[in-house]
Each structure stands twice: as C-alpha cells, then as structure tokens.
Homo-oligomer: A and B are copies of this chain.
Amino acid sequence: MSSESRTEISSLGEFGLIDHLTKNIELQNVSSVLGVGDDAAVIDHFGKQTVVTTDLLVEAVHFDLAYTPLKHLGYKSVIVNLSDIYAMNAIPTQIVISLGISNRFSLEAMDEFYEGVYAACSKYGVDLVGGDTTSSQKGFIISVTAIGEVAPDKFVKRSTAQKGDLLCVSGDLGAAYVGLLFLEREKKIFMESPGVQPDLEGESYVIGKLLKPEARKDIIEFLASSEITPTAMMDISDGLSSEILHICKQSNLGCVLYEDKIPVNEQMKQAAFKFEIDPTACALSGGEDYELVFTIPQTEYDKLVLNEEISVVGYMTEAGQGAHIITKGGSKHALTAQGWNHLK
C-alpha cells in the first residue's frame, strides 16, 4: 500500500463505499441487462447456457499483503475465477464480488484493489455487476463469483475423458510456486534485517506468474477456431498431479504422464535449482499456475501440434492401469496428489 492520503472507509458508510467503487463501471456485454445498484444483477442468456463458479480468498491463507500489491490482488482475484470459466470451455461475461474489510484498510487501499479488478474485467471483457461490502474482524476477505456463457451442451467436464485420449497442458508449470518461494524468502530476510534490499534480480518471470497470473482465454479461442472440443478439461490451480488425478478419478480412467514432456520455463528451472528443489516437483505439486489441462482424441493431434502454447504430456489409459509418471530416467512411479491443500 503506497497510499499518500488515507480516507477512513467508515467516513463513507457501506453505500457510499459501493457508490465510490462502482461509479466508473461501463457494462461491456449486451447480456448484462442490469448491473450494480439493486438487489441483484440481471443477465440475459437467451439460447446460451450459463456457467457459474466462485472462489473465496482469505488473507494469510491465500495471500500475504507483505509482498502482494493490492492492485495485483484485485487482478488475480478475478483471474482465478475466469480461469474456472474457461476451464468449462465457456466465455466469462460477468462477475460479482464481495469484500470483507478490516478497519486497517483505507479507501485508497480499496481503490488500488479495484483498479486491479477493473483491469482484469477490461482485459477479459467481463462486467462487474454486483457484490457486497462489509467489515471483517480481521484481515481481508475476497469472494468472487464469475458467470459465463457456453453454446448449448458445449461445456467440457472433468469426467468425460476417453481411454487413448492425449493429455495436454497449456503454457508452462511450476513458476508460480517458485515465485512464492522467493517472496517468502525475501519476506523472512526483511523481517530479520529490515535494511536489506530484496534480491529478486532476474526472477521477474516466476514472480509475475504468482502475483499477476493470466487466464487462458487464448487457448479456449484457439480450440474453438481449430474446431477442437476437448473431451475433458480443468484448470491447474493445485498442481498438475492433483488435477490429472481428478480427471482420472472422475472419468474412471488411468493415465501415463511423461516427465520430459512437462513444460517448464528455463527461468523457473534455474530458480528451482537455487532452492535445491526439482523443477518437475514444482510443476507437479506447486499450485496457482492457472494453466489448462485437457484431453483430446488422438485424431485431433495434427490440429494442435503447431500451437507452441500447448504441450502433449501423456495419454489416458484404463482405470485398472492406474495413474503413472515415466521419469526422464525411464522409471515408472505412481502419480500422487500433493497439491496445495489449504485445509492442511
């Protein structure tokens, strides 16, 4: 928070705050019939199916304001929900957002947060149509619900992968987790020796993936324009293994995953080595990548091979064969979920 002035939120009251935060909204979608300012928003979805998802982000559980700029947090709060909508093969159209705010936050801090929210809405063509703002006893609480549209029955579930399908992922994996390790390390150093300047030279990629992730709208658009309908899809928020195991369990299938096919960024790899951890472990078990994992029939392979943002990492097998990873050394291990479990 780099606020020079400080306006107490209590000086506006709830309705004053909502007016202040929403006064510049311009609705982008014709389906947004009525936005903020009534009991509920109204959305027109004639001839489309509505997709809805929600995420709750809690300070000190999901984010640390010691190293998370509020503007980035606002942006990311929207992105994590849009990512779930894209993971259904749908297009996000509206969000509603509820905030619980303790009195240590000023109006200027809320403005920074909303700057990030509006930046994400603008970039992804989504309308903010409502919400709720209240106080919290402790910390900052963010609840976002995103709504999207999909042509009738074109949504893609997790449970419909088929035996023999190719297992694909977008982008690269594990960087957000390594970014988190850096920021946690620098925070610890700062707490112990407040004079020391942070040493994040050259780590902009991994830190950017953590603090300002993007949702893979481009992949959904590519799949649509290439006329590829994935048989199953989900977004990668808890690490690749955990998500693949969800697809296997819900589709009643097994899989083979090849370690050498898992896409990792070179900067992430070097950064992982600095922490003496295996980049593959980061990709498999690190969270918050917000990439997509999906399955396609083998016959669709030719259509996606030219897209450098998509990697084929394995294939689906019968359930009885289990879920395995073949390491670079050629050995075979059972895939285990060690995702980011907030309840542990």
Residues of chain A at the chain B interface (Cβ within 8 Å): 9-10, 12-15, 17, 33-34, 37-56, 58-62, 83-85, 87-88, 90, 94, 96-100, 129-139, 141, 143, 145-148, 150, 152-153, 155, 157-159, 234-235, 246, 250, 341-344
Known: A13-B344, A45-B46. 13 other contacts (CB 8 A): A13-B341, A14-B341, A37-B159, A39-B53, A39-B83, A39-B234, A43-B51, A44-B50, A52-B94, A52-B145, A54-B98, A98-B143, A134-B342
With A9-B343, A42-B49, A42-B150: A56-B137 Cβ-Cβ less than 8 Å: no
Shortest distance between the CB of A180 and any CB in chain B (Å): 17
Shortest distance between the CB of A37 and any CB in chain B (Å): 7
Inter-chain contact A234/B44, CB cutoff 8 Å:
no
Residues of B within 8 Å of A155, CB to CB, are 33-34, 42
Residues of B within 8 Å of A39, CB to CB, are 53, 83-85, 87-88, 158, 234-235
Inter-chain contact B33/A41, CB cutoff 8 Å:
no
Shortest distance between the CB of A50 and any CB in chain B (Å): 4
Q: Which residue of B lies closest to A86 (CB)?
A: B39
Residues of B within 8 Å of A40, CB to CB, are 51-53, 84-85, 87-88, 90, 146, 148
Inter-chain contact B137/A60, CB cutoff 8 Å:
yes
Per the bound structure, the CA–CA distance linking A342 and B12 in Å amounts to 12
Shortest distance between the CB of A293 and any CB in chain B (Å): 11
From the candidates B54, B131, B136, name the one contacting A96 in the complex (CB within 8 A): B54
Per the bound structure, the CA–CA distance linking A131 and B135 in Å amounts to 22
Per the bound structure, the CA–CA distance linking A51 and B130 in Å amounts to 11
A/B interface sample: 14 pairs, CB < 8 A: A9-B343, A13-B341, A39-B53, A39-B88, A40-B85, A42-B51, A42-B150, A44-B50, A46-B47, A54-B143, A58-B135, A59-B137, A96-B145, A141-B141
Residues of B within 8 Å of A146, CB to CB, are 40
From the candidates B14, B42, B48, B83, name the one contacting A343 in the complex (CB within 8 A): B14
Q: Which residue of B lies closest to A90 (CB)?
A: B40
Per the bound structure, the CA–CA distance linking A145 and B62 in Å amounts to 21
Per the bound structure, the CA–CA distance linking A145 and B43 in Å amounts to 14
Per the bound structure, the CA–CA distance linking A152 and B344 in Å amounts to 46
Per the bound structure, the CA–CA distance linking A148 and B45 in Å amounts to 12
Per the bound structure, the CA–CA distance linking A155 and B37 in Å amounts to 14
